[in-house]
């Protein structure tokens, strides 16, 4: 049983990770802006309010954990999503390091995955203009903050191009830097299977200081 600090546990992906972690007997502190959005109830669940843009508050929220999982997203409708993503992740990384926690699992994005040599998803023009600032912000976190980071054992786990509610099948493929597509050319994963694979990685680490991805 691990002690997990889960940042963003009330969001779409975060709430699925919370459910998966609790179902497997882990102790979870869900760190959120709005505690009332956490509707789960479990003896192994603690809810803590924190401002993720404040590294001191991050430190206080995560300091008793074994591992930090971040599903932080400042909100797709946030006009400052690009800058808040960068500021938030700087704070998360700094707070986690200050707390002496060595393992940080980050819910990454698919935008920086490659569809062919030298061409990333976010370079193809298929993504809606409205979400590009958030996509680019998360990609910048990966390139600027994580790739040079040597003092913490981080993982950037990119979902498939389409992540949606579905079934927890346990049948999926994992990869590294290339978008995974099925025999129809579609890139998809259920949020349930994504969460399953993330908690698998927490329980049995196979990736260290690198990005990996998932798809059917």
Q: Does domain 3-215 have CATH number 3.20.20.70?
A: no
Instruction: Note the pLDDT of residue 185.
Output: 92
What CA–CA distances, in Å, run from 194 to 13, 125, 187?
A: 9, 25, 13
Instruction: Note the pLDDT of residue 61.
Output: 96
Which residues touch 65 (CB under 8 Å, ≥6 apart)?
Answer: 3, 4, 5, 29, 99, 101
The DSSP-derived string for 154-197 is EEEEE--SEEES-------EEESSB----TTS--EEEHHHHHHH
List the Cα angle 203/5/197 in 5-degree steps: 35
b/e burial code for range 149-165 (CB count within 10 A of at least 16 → b): eeebbbbbbbbbbebee
Instruction: Note the pLDDT of residue 26.
Output: 98
Local mean pLDDT, 10-residue blocks, the chain (216 residues): 96 97 98 92 95 95 96 93 97 96 97 96 93 95 96 97 96 97 95 98 98 98
Left if phi > 0, otherwise alpha if psi is -120 to 50, otherwise beta: which for 160?
A: beta
Instruction: Note the pLDDT of residue 169.
Output: 97
Instruction: Note the pLDDT of residue 12.
Output: 95
Q: Give the pTM.
A: 0.96
Residue spans of the domains in the chain: they are: 3-215
């Amino acid at each position: 049983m691990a002690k997990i600090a889960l940042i963003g546990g009330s969001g779409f992906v975060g709430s699925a990770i919370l459910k998966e972690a609790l179902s497997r007997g882990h102790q979870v502190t869900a760190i959120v802006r709005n505690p009332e959005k956490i509707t789960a109830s479990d003896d192994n669940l603690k809810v803590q309010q924190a401002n993720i843009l404040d590294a001191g508050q991050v430190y206080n929220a995560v300091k008793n954990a074994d591992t930090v999982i971040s599903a932080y997203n400042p909100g797709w409708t946030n006009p400052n999503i690009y800058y808040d993503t960068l500021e938030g992740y700087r704070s998360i990384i700094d707070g986690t390091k200050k707390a002496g926690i060595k393992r940080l699992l980050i819910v990454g994005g698919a935008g920086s995955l490659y569809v062919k040599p030298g061409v990333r998803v976010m370079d193809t023009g298929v993504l809606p203009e409205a979400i590009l600032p958030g996509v680019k912000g998360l990609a910048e976190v990966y390139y600027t903050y994580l790739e040079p980071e040597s003092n913490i054992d981080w993982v950037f786990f990119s979902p498939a191009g389409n992540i949606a509610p579905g079934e927890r099948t346990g049948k999926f493929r994992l990869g590294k830097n290339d978008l995974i597509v099925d025999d129809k050319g579609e890139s998809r994963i259920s949020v349930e299977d994504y969460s399953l694979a993330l908690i698998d990685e927490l329980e049995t680490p196979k990736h260290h200081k690198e990005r990996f991805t998932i798809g059917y």
